[in-house]
């Protein structure tokens, strides 16, 4: 008897919902014919983990959301409009004076990428309004290619103070991404001082090349052991021959959350969230580069979890200041430029700065050749007296390919 009742109930619920769906579909197709403006009302549900305060600032407060029925249909609609594939996720942490640099990074990601992007920006609260103001001012055509969520910086409460003071303010936030972005399967984490010179899609596609044990991908810290840092100075274990650089980090967070990591503290494997604090306690007097060192220690004991990608995906001044030592970039150009130690802003590496300035100044919608490439080449030609300047063709090679995608965007493709 109970079973029949339950079945009846289920049928009724189903009937009500399908009626509702049919009705709202009718209603929606009607409103669609009158204009495309409706799409912009769509306010998707918040990412889990977004802090209340941050979410309110992004204007996704529930009071402005359309009714649930409409939201569902609209989601179908916007999904069909994109390539139909799930979006890529990009995360960055921005603190202090990194606002403009972070916006320039996001700009480079959005400019060249093909699939839709979900950008997760972790920033100090006082920066949230400026981020929103800047991102909301980007043209509609650009806005349809990505969405974003702003988050406050947060740490596990017991040790918040200790985490915050580790390395640069906020940098260790990236270690907690798998725990904060619980609903997200995979993410590309980048430092704010990087620039995409080609679609992020190609980096994203490494995920599908992971073998059954790999859960993160990074580039080696160095190609050349004689000038590398970890093998000469580190007072802790590190990954591989020269360590890994965590400025560009591709993570399958589903795997990171589900895996037990071997370590030198206990004989049993520990979960990601159990691993971090004991590791910090053990090594805090010996680490120099903060959370990157912790990652190196973790993957020293678990090398089979890492897919190493070539240095062209994380090209730093170290790859050219002592002569060119990144073979993959020599062959195919620089894919991601990493202006660490502030070289996008000071005069020490004019070639790096020239690329940064060219992307920063490019305005959406203008011709990419006259608006981006020409001014960049002009600046780069002035820098050929430096080692990095001499390798400037590596900086533009990939960019030229990627510009085809900006053209697509300009004609609304
Ligand atoms: C961004 O878009 C994706 C689908 O493309 C959606 O799942 C997500 O909730 C959106 N996030 C925000 C903050 O709008
Ligand atoms: C990440 O790993 C999980 C578990 O192995 C898998 O189901 C998922 O498809 C992977 N994500 C991507 C983007 O490959
Ligand atoms: C820290 O460095 C010192 C000096 O090199 C070394 O003796 C010590 O074992 C290191 N500590 C750990 C936990 O590796
Ligand atoms: C996956 O590749 C890594 C090399 O990056 C290797 O160490 C590991 O053994 C591989 N895993 C499997 C299951 O083949």
In a domain, 51, yes or no: yes
In a domain, 351, yes or no: yes
In a domain, 217, yes or no: no
In a domain, 99, yes or no: no
Residue nearest to atom 10 of ligand 1 (CA): 44
* Region 121-134 average pLDDT: 96
Q: What are the start-end ranges of the H helices in 284-369?
A: 291-301, 327-332, 350-361, 368
* CA dist list (Å): 45 to 14, 61, 71, 181, 288: 23, 10, 9, 14, 40
Q: Residue 205: phi, psi to the nearest 5? A: -70, -15
Q: Return the pLDDT at 324.
A: 84
Q: Return the pLDDT at 413.
A: 38
In a domain, 333, yes or no: yes
Residue nearest to atom 8 of ligand 1 (CA): 44
Q: Return the pLDDT at 48.
A: 37
Window from 43-52, 91-100, 185-194, 260-269 with minimum mean pLDDT: 43-52
What are 234's strand-pairing partners? none
CA 275 – CA 124 distance, rounded (Å) = 26
- The answer, yes or no, to whether residue 307 has pLDDT greater than 70, is yes
pLDDT band at 227 (very low <50, low <70, confident <90, very high): confident
Q: Which ligand is nearest to the CA of 278?
A: 3
Assess contact for 83 and 113: CB atoms under 8 A.
no
Residue nearest to atom 9 of ligand 1 (CA): 44
Residues 6 or more apart from 391 whose CB is under 8 A from it? 320, 324, 329, 351
Assess contact for 291 and 167: CB atoms under 8 A.
yes
Which numbered atom of ligand 4 lies nearest the CA of 214?
Answer: 1
Q: Return the pLDDT at 290.
A: 80
Among 389, 393, 347, 343, which residue's Cα sits nearest to residue 373?
Answer: 393
CA–centroid distance, 21 to ligand 1, in Å, is 22
Assess contact for 364 and 142: CB atoms under 8 A.
yes
- The answer, yes or no, to whether residue 56 has pLDDT greater than 80, is no
pLDDT in tens, 229-244: 888 878 889 898 889 9
pTM of the model: 0.80
Supply 64's token pair: 């402005």
CA 124 – CA 94 distance, rounded (Å) = 7
Q: Return the pLDDT at 75.
A: 36
Q: Which residues have any ligand 4 atom within 6 Å of their CB?
A: 211-214, 303-304, 306-307
In a domain, 230, yes or no: no
CA–centroid distance, 316 to ligand 3, in Å, is 29
Name the more confident of 45 and 21: 21
Collapsed DSSP state (helix, strand, coil) of residue 308: strand
Residues 6 or more apart from 406 whose CB is under 8 A from it? 111, 112, 368, 372
Q: Return the pLDDT at 401.
A: 82
CA–centroid distance, 147 to ligand 1, in Å, is 6
In a domain, 354, yes or no: yes
Mean of the per-residue pLDDT values of the chain: 80
How many independent structural domains does the chain possess? 2
Q: What angle do CA 3, 8, 13 make, to 5 degrees?
A: 125
C-alpha of 353 from chain center: 21
Percent of the chain with pLDDT over 90: 52
- The answer, yes or no, to whether residue 370 has pLDDT greater than 80, is yes
Which of 42, 59, 75 is where one domain is finished? Answer: 75
Query: What are 238-244's contacts with CB under 8 Å, separation 24+?
Result: 238/293, 238/296, 238/297, 238/300, 239/295, 239/296, 239/299, 239/300, 239/303, 239/306, 240/303, 240/308, 243/296, 244/218, 244/219, 244/220, 244/292, 244/295, 244/296, 244/299, 244/306, 244/308
Q: What is the chain's alpha carbon radius of gyration, rounded to the nearest angstrom?
A: 23
Q: Residue 257: phi, psi to the nearest 5? A: -75, -25
Which of 75, 99, 124 is where one domain is finished? Answer: 75
Which numbered atom of ligand 3 lies nearest the CA of 282?
Answer: 13
Domain residues for 34?
A: 13-75
Q: Return the pLDDT at 1.
A: 53
Residue nearest to atom 5 of ligand 2 (CA): 255
- The answer, yes or no, to whether residue 250 has pLDDT greater than 70, is yes
In a domain, 27, yes or no: yes
* Region 268-272 average pLDDT: 95
Which of 29, 56, 75 is where one domain is finished? Answer: 75
Supply 203's token pair: 């980096």
Which numbered atom of ligand 2 lies nearest the CA of 186?
Answer: 13
CA–centroid distance, 56 to ligand 4, in Å, is 43
């Amino acid at each position: 008897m109970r079973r029949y009742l339950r079945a009846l109930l289920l049928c009724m619920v189903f009937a009500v919902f399908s009626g509702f769906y049919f009705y709202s579909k009718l209603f929606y197709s009607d409103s669609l014919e009158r204009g495309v403006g409706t799409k912009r009302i769509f306010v998707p549900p918040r990412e889990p983990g977004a802090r209340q305060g941050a979410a309110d600032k992004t204007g996704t407060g529930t009071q402005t959301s359309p009714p649930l029925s409409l939201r569902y249909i609209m989601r179908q609609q916007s999904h069909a409009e994109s390539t139909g594939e799930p979006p890529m996720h990009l995360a960055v942490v921005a603190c202090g004076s990194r606002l403009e640099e972070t916006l320039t990074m996001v700009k480079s990601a959005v400019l060249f990428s093909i699939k839709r992007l979900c950008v997760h920006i972790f920033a100090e609260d006082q920066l949230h309004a400026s981020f929103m103001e800047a991102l909301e001012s980007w043209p509609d055509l650009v806005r349809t290619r990505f969405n974003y969520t702003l988050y406050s910086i947060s740490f596990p409460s017991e040790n918040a103070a200790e985490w915050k003071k580790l390395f640069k303010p906020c940098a260790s936030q990236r270690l907690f991404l798998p725990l904060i972005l619980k609903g997200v399967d995979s993410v590309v984490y980048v430092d704010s001082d990087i620039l995409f010179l080609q679609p992020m899609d190609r980096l994203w596609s490494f995920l599908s090349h992971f073998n059954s044990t790999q859960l993160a991908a990074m580039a080696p810290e160095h190609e050349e052991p004689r000038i590398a840092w970890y093998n000469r100075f580190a007072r802790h274990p590190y990954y591989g021959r020269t360590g890994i650089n965590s400025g560009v980090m591709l993570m399958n967070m589903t795997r990171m959350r589900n895996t037990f990591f071997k370590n030198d503290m206990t004989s049993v494997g520990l979960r990601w969230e159990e691993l971090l604090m004991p590791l910090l306690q053990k090594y805090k007097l010996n680490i120099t580069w903060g959370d990157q060192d912790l990652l190196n220690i973790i993957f020293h004991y678990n090398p089979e979890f890492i897919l190493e990608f070539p240095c062209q995906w994380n090209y730093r001044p170290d790859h050219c200041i002592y002569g060119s030592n990144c073979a993959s970039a020599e062959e195919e150009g620089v894919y991601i430029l990493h202006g660490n130690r502030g070289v996008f802003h000071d005069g020490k590496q004019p070639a790096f700065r020239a690329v940064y300035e060219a992307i920063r100044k490019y305005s959406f919608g203008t011709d990419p050749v006259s608006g981006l490439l020409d001014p960049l080449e002009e600046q780069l030609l002035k820098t050929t007296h430096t080692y990095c300047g001499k390798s400037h063709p590596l900086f533009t090679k990939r960019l030229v390919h990627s510009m085809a995608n900006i053209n697509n965007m300009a004609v609304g493709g």
